[in-house]
Each structure stands twice: as structure tokens, then as C-alpha cells.
Amino acid sequence: MKERIILLVLFLILFITSCNTKPAKELSINGSIKGLTKGTIYLEKLKDSTFAPVDSFKVRDNGKFTVGDALESPEIYYLRIKEKPEESILIFGEKGNLEVTSKLDKFTTAAKVTGSTNHDLLTAYKEMIQKFNDSRLDLFKANIEAEQAQDQQAIDSLNKVHANLIRKRYLYTANFAVTHADKEIAPYLALTELYNANLSLLDTVNTSLTAQIQQSKYGKQLDRFITVVKKNERAK
């Protein structure tokens, strides 16, 4: 009888311990915010189209912090400060240790993220895309001037240039994704940059993904998205 009671107690202890055990944080972000002497750091990600905090850290006097998450596959996270909720640092998180540094007065623009291959690729992609954005801004200004001058010939010409610029941006994005089809950034870019592009480009990216990336969070989302788009086109 006494042995049964001991076994029952041990079982209850193990059960309670297992219930209270938190999932391991495969993603660990260590960092420092220069100028932040007191505040709360939040690590967030999108859940059902809303930002949801997954971890937090109270900064004391040195600006250093540590946050993390038990991610299944690499995905986008956002680092925020409670005292500056309008700003955030976008991080392409993946398993391992990441380092983030920034400044309180330039929280977003001064941010540097290291330790994530996907984040490095995203940074390289954004640098190139900025050139497309600059060209688009120049076209926008030129179009305003043409409209003010009521120069229809110039307007038509600028519209053609703009359409060609968009096509080039789509092609560059698709090529970048295919080139890095073994990384989670490939389906992520397809979902965020090619969602309204020609379906053939989405298919090209999707079929180029490695088996591992197809099973990632963004890989599965991309496949579902393409399925829905094709279903809607057949219904027209």
C-alpha cells in the first residue's frame, strides 16, 4: 500500500512538472539598445493577422536584453519597445542565437541584426528593391508634372515605363526567390511581394522550393495561397 502511495506521489510530481515546463526557445535574441536605461522589450509575431507578443524583457540600466521563441521554422518577428510602440525592428528569426543592436533615438533605422541567414538575404533583397522604389518615385514626380502640363503623350509614355518597371521588379523578386529556393525567404517573398503578380511566377517559385522549405511555415502558406488563387480563377 505504501509503495502505491509513493508511486502515486511520484507520478503527480512528474505530471505537474511536465505541465509547467515551457517549450524550449530554439530562437534566442540577445541585444542592446544604446540610450535605453529603463523599459520593456517585446518580441512579437503575426497570429491571425494581429501582432501577438511571444516574449518580453524588462531592461534595467544597460540597455541589454534577451528574448526568444520556440519557433517551428524560420519566420518574421518584430521587436518593439513599450515606450515607443509606433516603431519596430523586423527580424527574420531562425533557430540559433541572433544579435540585435540599435539606438533608442533611431530604434528602427539604426538596427543591425546578425546570426540569421534569412535576415541577411532579406536585407540584400531590400537594398536592391530600394533602387526600384527610387525609380518609381522619380516616375511619380514626372507624371505629376506631365498632368499639370496636360501632356498626354508624356503621360502615356510614363505609364508604359512604370508598367515595365513593375514587371522587372516582379521578375527580379521571382529570380531572387528561385536562386534561394533552399531558404525560407523564398516563399516569404512570393507571399509578400508576388501575391498580385502573374500566377506563373508564383508557380515557378513554388515548384523550385526544396522539400524542406515546402514543409516550412511560409512554404505551406504559399502552396495554400496558390491553390486558392487557382480555384478562384476556375470559378470565373
**pLDDT confidence of residue 186:** 98
CA distance 190 to 177: 7
Helix (H, G, I), strand (E, B) or coil at 36: coil
**pLDDT confidence of residue 39:** 92
**pLDDT confidence of residue 24:** 65
CA distance 165 to 172: 10
Q: Which domains does the chain have, with CATH numbers?
A: 23-115 (2.60.40.1120), 119-235 (no CATH)
CA distance readout (Å), 114 to 55, 59, 100, 103, 128: 19, 21, 7, 16, 19
**pLDDT confidence of residue 18:** 43
pLDDT tens-place values along the chain, 236 residues long = 444 444 333 344 344 444 444 556 799 999 999 999 999 999 999 988 899 999 999 998 789 999 999 998 999 999 999 988 899 999 999 999 999 999 999 999 999 999 999 999 999 999 999 999 999 999 999 999 999 999 999 999 999 999 999 999 999 999 999 999 999 999 999 999 999 999 999 999 999 999 999 999 999 999 999 999 999 888 87
**pLDDT confidence of residue 85:** 87
